[in-house]
Each structure stands twice: as structure tokens, then as C-alpha cells.
Structure 1
Amino acid sequence: MIFNWIKGNITKPAPSDTKSTGEGTSPAGLTNQPEGLVENAVALATGLEMVDAFYPGHDPIDYYGDGGFRFGPMSHQGAVMFLPSGIRRWDVTGLNDIALNSFDKILAEKEDIEILLIGTGQQMSFLNRSVTDALRKQGIKIEVMDTSAAVGTLNILLSEGRAVAAALLPVD
């Protein structure tokens, strides 16, 4: 999930009509959050607002670790994709989850991508050969490396204005 910091909302008392059954409601002025999600309760209690997992910017990664990434005014727990259109949540939890369909959003924007960096987490690991072969067959140049190296390379290429995309697994 991508969170925005909401200043001042953590001290607002809950409205008197707030349900106490764990269904939860948003503080005044915020859109309702889906009911029953622990992340929503934690986010709201700490002054964070859950927003759609898309950031239209191309900001470099300021911090990575503890299972997430920080870029621009945003932070995200879990894997991310940096695309020409912006930064999105990547719905994989580990190397074994990565399949060709994990790159559908990248394939949809392949005409605007010069190189794809894949950060495989704490250590550099190879992807399934059929996945890399299929991506290369689509005309995508791929560099696979550990997430630390991928973040550094991504930030350099972004500063040069290059057409770079990245799919990054988080590190602890």
C-alpha cells in the first residue's frame, strides 16, 4: 500500500457515531476506507491515509529497507514497479511469485522503456529462464541484480533522464 502522511488527524477524536465493532470509519474529511482491513486502522491511527497504489511521479528512491521504499512524498510497503507512467505496487511477494504475467504493466508500456531493472531482494537471483526469454522476445532489455544495486542504478538512470523501468522486491 502507498500511504500519504496526514498532518493533524491523529489527535482528532472519532465521531460519536463511530462503530465500535471493528468496522471502522475514516476521520472527518477523509474518504471511507474498506472495512475490516487492519492496515487501514493502523494507517488512520498513526495519521496516514491509504491511497490508490499509484504515484504518477518519477522521483528517485530516497530510502529502501524494512520491507518497503520511500520516494517523493510517498512510502510503500512491499514490491514496486517504476514505469514511464509512474510508480505502482507490484503484486508479488517474492522471487517464486514472479511469472510473465507479473510484467503485464511493463509490457503495456514497453515502447517507452529503454531498459528494465529487476531487483531480486537481498541477493541477486536469477529469474525463471522462460520469463526472461519471453520479456526479451518482446524487445525489452533486462538487467537482473539485487535490489540495492537496482535502486542505485535506477536513481542514476533517472537523473540522466533515461527511459528506465524497474521491478523491485523489498529488502529487510
Structure 2
Amino acid sequence: MAIRQRAVTALPNLIRSLRKEPLLKPPHNNSAALPSLRRAFSLYDQINLIDNVPDDQLRFEGYTDTGFTINGVQYEGSLLCVGNLVLSWKPNNFSDITPHSLSLFQVVRPIPEILILGCGRNIQHVDPEVRRFIRSTGIKLEAVDSRNAASTYNILNEEGRVVAAAVLPYGVSS
């Protein structure tokens, strides 16, 4: 909470300082390095601009190599999040993800518009059979690392969209 508060108080100063800086002129020689924007935008990882989220909505608040924190509760292992429902999910490795492990999406209503698949530490190539299965349910599939899956789920859920996440712990590397 203290980190978030510092980020929120630092953001107006950052914006003011960025507005005061003159626009950079392109260098005449191509060997000059461009300034890094990473420092200017690194606060994005620490703050949530959508602050008035209802208490009954799920929000990923953190992750570890073995699980996730959602709405203040620590969950170990893989999870399925559909709307505002959290379920323990059996796959422990990316290779364990099959149409059978995602069969819940044949019956869940309302049908999520997108399933965010958290692959663990690295993005993995999704088996074509799994892609076909998810497409057959009318859901779009996006495979990303689990950290980004949690963030994307938060943003889409906060926008009021019907979204689902199937996430492996961040420590899973293959």
C-alpha cells in the first residue's frame, strides 16, 4: 500500500516534469543514443488508474512463483477465474493444458468474450487443438505470461467486460 501511495503522489510531479521538458530534436548523427522512456513509464507497473472498483470484483493483487493473491487472499497453484469466480485448476505445467482441462468453458454462462491464458514465466505456443476448442466455444484466446495475464484480466474485468483467465503460477517455466 505504501508503494502505491508513493506512486500516486509521484505521478503528478512526473507529468509536470515531462510537460516542462522541451521536445527533443533528432540528432544529426545516427550514432547518438535515444533517451530511455522506461523510467518515465515504469510507474505503470505500480499504480492502477481505475481506482473505484467494486469490492465484489476480482482483482489480482500479486503473484509469486507458486500462486497468486486475489482480493487479499493468497491462492497456491493454477487458477481459473471466470467473471468474479475463482476456481482451483489442475494443470501444473503448460503441457497439461488440454481441451479437457478447459471444458468448463462449454457450459459457463455468460460466455466470456476472451480467455487470457497465463503460461507461467514465458509465453508458450498454444496447441492448435486447444485453440480450436476455445474458438468452438465462441471465446477468443490470448496467451501471455502469467504476470501480464493477471494485469490484463484486471483491466478488462474493471471495464465491465466478460473475461476469463486460466493462469499457471509465474514460477512455471515450461
TM-score (structure 2 length as normaliser): 0.63
Q: Deviations over 1:25-61 (max 9, x none)?
A: xxxxxxxxxxxxxxxxxxxxxxxxxxxxxxxx53210
Aligned mates of 2:111, 2:137 — CA distance in 1: 13
- Structure 2 unaligned spans of 5+: 1-55
Of residues 118-127 and 83-92 in structure 1, the stretch that sits farther from structure 2 once superposed is 83-92
Structure 1 position 74, deviation (Å): 1.8
Contact in 1 for aligned 2:119/2:167 (Cα 8 Å):
yes
Residue in 1 that maps onto 2:29: none
Q: Rate the CA distance shift 1:71–1:152 in 2: closer, same or farther, 3 A.
A: same
RMSD of aligned residue pairs (Cα, Å): 1.5
Aligned mates of 1:146, 1:154 — CA distance in 2: 12
Contact in 2 for aligned 1:116/1:143 (Cα 8 Å):
yes
Q: Deviations over 1:2-47 (max 9, x none)?
A: xxxxxxxxxxxxxxxxxxxxxxxxxxxxxxxxxxxxxxxxxxxxxx
Residue in 2 that maps onto 1:94: 93
Contact in 2 for aligned 1:69/1:170 (Cα 8 Å):
yes
Q: Rate the CA distance shift 1:89–1:122 in 2: closer, same or farther, 3 A.
A: same
Structure 1 position 78, deviation (Å): 0.5
Contact in 1 for aligned 2:66/2:170 (Cα 8 Å):
yes
Residue in 2 that maps onto 1:18: none
Residue in 1 that maps onto 2:108: 109
Higher strand proportion (structure 1 or 2): 1
| 1:27-66 correspondence runs (5 A) | 58-66=57-65
- Structure 1 unaligned spans of 5+: 1-56
Residue in 2 that maps onto 1:143: 142
Q: Deviations over 1:37-90 (max 9, x none)?
A: xxxxxxxxxxxxxxxxxxxx5321001113100111421110000113601001
Residue in 2 that maps onto 1:120: 119
Residue in 1 that maps onto 2:69: 70
Aligned mates of 1:116, 1:127 — CA distance in 2: 13
What is the aligned residue count? 116
Q: Rate the CA distance shift 1:92–1:133 in 2: closer, same or farther, 3 A.
A: same
Aligned to 2:143, the other structure's residue is in SS state strand
Greater Rg over alpha carbons, structure: 2
Contact in 2 for aligned 1:58/1:82 (Cα 8 Å):
no
Aligned to 2:74, the other structure's residue is in SS state strand
The alignment-based identity, stated in percent, is 30
Aligned mates of 2:165, 2:149 — CA distance in 1: 8
Higher helix proportion (structure 1 or 2): 2
Residue 107 of structure 2 aligns to which amino acid in structure 1? Answer: A
